[in-house]
Amino acid sequence: MTDQPIRRALLSVSDKAGLIELARFLADRGVELLSTGGSAKLIADEGIPVREVADYTGFPEMMDGRVKTLHPKVHGGLLGLRDKHADAMAQHEIGAIDLLVVNLYPFEATVARGADFETCIENIDIGGPAMIRSAAKNHHFVTVVVSPDDYRAVMDDMAANNGATTLATRRRLAAVAYGRTASYDSAISGWFAGQLGDTFPERLTIAGTRRQTLRYGENPHQQAAFYVSGDERPGVATARQLQGKELSYNNLNDTDAAYEAVAEFDPAETPAVVIVKHANPCGVAIAPSMAEAYRRALACDPVSAFGGIIALNRTLDGETAAEIAKIFTEVIIAPDATDEAREIIAGKKNLRLLLAGGLPDPAAPGMTVKSVAGGYLLQNRDNGRVFREGLKVVTKRAPTERELTDLLFAFRVCKHVKSNTIVYVKDGATVGVGAGQMSRVDSARIAARKAIDAAEANGYPEPLTKGSVVASDAFFPFADGLLAAADAGATAVIQPGGSMRDQEVIDAADAAGLAMVFTGMRHFRH
């Protein structure tokens, strides 16, 4: 028989949402209710018959509630195989528990609110995971529920099957249950490692909660889903989508790249706009107004910007929204938006507008994970930043104040462009971006070529790389990449340095009249 009647249920939850509705449903169908602590009191206060677990087991709660469900009458009732262990259960007066409803102590929420070490330890649930695992293992006979989101499914199943649940329902819920205990243990493991300063523990655990099943992955033949980690870093995981169709895998990936890039620019200092296409910035600019920053970012590569992702570091205003609405855009993400801006964007029904509520801190620590065949690569997030006091002038000519400002801007941008990276900047805006090439000289030439195309598209008399500065995410291994930038019109260079041929490159810069600074920090991005 695959349908299992529910005659006795144990309800013990920290999240009380939906508990009374479920308890009343069960009681109305003659199910005996067992419960503990606050759950039992809440049920009893509603006039619903309920029996305390301590009364059921004949063993009192003790040790500040640490020991209450860790008892043979509970675990025997959950683990006992009804077709094999009936004699043992009868001999030891162990009644079958057919339904377990448990959600765990709020460990993750306790950590998120910054509680001290001992408080976090006290919010590690022991009895809950033990019961969940027992019930999930014995799902052929026992229904286990770990989230209020599944109460309705159980009630519907029982209503349709004369008070019983189906094997299909129990198997699905068992899988959900093991996922929950695994993610719970993962959260504890990660927190404990962090408390000990163990950045790379011996065993890596990664947990997430599915936010969305996506239409497909990078390509239509790939399946995909979006999971959230619980990290409150502002971005795609925290944003509210005000309008537009469902976000795709590529939308989410590109929007994350755009928002992380625009966060490099302090909104208290200046408005900034980043336009991303295929995970690479194709236009970045700062300006006195957000609308002007957008226009300048768009001018860098108006062709690539079509169908792109736009990220702002300040509230989206009406003027900027009207400018963005002039071309096809997939997604806008900003900390907030004015009512006027929302009304304008509402006229573009397919344009997604995401409000993240804040900006991520580009200097904050964190980890990134990349899968490889048979394993994972784990590293610290690239939160390195370069400031003018850390620069080393290596050429005969030092950069001017204008060049220095643009050099720092350019190096901050190239951190978010796929390697090999060359970025040309002029007056606080990118004017050429070369991304993802196998040789640095090719990136320099492609960026210059795109600047020529942008000049033609915008009606400029010459490419804006004339009189620009150039940034390289890593050192120039030969002088050819630097000379290509000089040919494009760059007057100053910022790069990490560290090549065996640094002096050859410095000499070439001096011969071309370029100013060049070394950062001592590179920004590979693969």
Q: Which fold has domain 390-518?
A: Cytidine Deaminase; domain 2 (3.40.140)
Phi, psi of 445 (to 5 degrees): -70, -40
Whether 276 and 252 have beta carbons less than 8 Å apart is answered as: no
Residues with a known catalytic role: 137, 278
> What pLDDT is recorded for position 83?
83
Distance (Å, rounded) from C-alpha 212 to C-alpha 244? Answer: 15
> What pLDDT is recorded for position 343?
95
Distance (Å, rounded) from C-alpha 449 to C-alpha 457? Answer: 13
For 410, residues 6+ apart whose C-beta sits below 8 A from its C-beta are 423, 424, 425, 430, 469, 470, 471, 494
For residue 176, what are the CA distances in angstroms to 13, 316, 326? 16, 40, 46
> What pLDDT is recorded for position 68?
60
Phi, psi of 4 (to 5 degrees): -120, 120
H helices present in 459-523, as ranges: 479-487, 502-511
> What pLDDT is recorded for position 46?
92
Distance (Å, rounded) from C-alpha 36 to C-alpha 9? Answer: 12
Distance (Å, rounded) from C-alpha 452 to C-alpha 487? Answer: 13
Sequential pLDDT tens for the chain (526 residues): 588 899 999 999 988 999 999 999 999 999 999 998 888 999 999 999 998 888 777 666 656 656 666 677 787 889 888 888 777 878 887 888 999 999 988 888 898 888 999 999 988 988 889 999 999 999 999 999 999 999 999 999 999 999 999 999 999 999 999 999 999 999 999 888 888 888 888 888 888 889 999 999 999 999 999 999 888 899 999 999 999 999 999 999 999 999 999 999 999 999 999 999 999 999 999 999 999 999 999 999 999 999 999 999 999 999 999 999 999 999 999 999 999 999 999 999 899 999 999 999 999 988 899 999 999 899 989 999 999 999 999 999 999 999 999 999 999 999 999 999 999 999 999 999 999 899 999 998 998 898 898 888 888 888 889 999 999 999 999 999 999 999 999 999 999 999 999 999 999 999 999 999 999 999 999 9
For residue 433, what are the CA distances in angstroms to 12, 424, 491? 58, 6, 16
Distance (Å, rounded) from C-alpha 42 to C-alpha 53? Answer: 14
CA 338 to centroid of chain Cα atoms: 25
For 193, residues 6+ apart whose C-beta sits below 8 A from its C-beta are 199, 201
> What pLDDT is recorded for position 1?
58
Distance (Å, rounded) from C-alpha 118 to C-alpha 127? Answer: 18
Distance (Å, rounded) from C-alpha 406 to C-alpha 468? Answer: 8
Same fold? 212-228+237-355, 390-518: yes
Delimit the domains of the chain by residue range. Answer: 4-195, 212-228+237-355, 390-518
Fill in the amino acid letter for 159.
A
Whether the link from the prior residue into 420 is cis, omega within 30° of 0, is yes
> What pLDDT is recorded for position 69?
64
Tokens of 280: 């690479």
Rg (CA), the chain: 30
The bridge status of strand 422-425 relative to strand 430-434 is antiparallel
Q: Which fold has domain 212-228+237-355?
A: Cytidine Deaminase; domain 2 (3.40.140)
> What pLDDT is recorded for position 486?
93
> What pLDDT is recorded for position 209?
87
User: 282: part of which helix (H) or strand (E)?
Assistant: strand 280-286
The bridge status of strand 469-472 relative to strand 422-425 is antiparallel
Q: How many CB atoms lie within 10 A of CB 213?
A: 10
State whether CATH 3.40.50.1380 applies to domain 4-195: yes
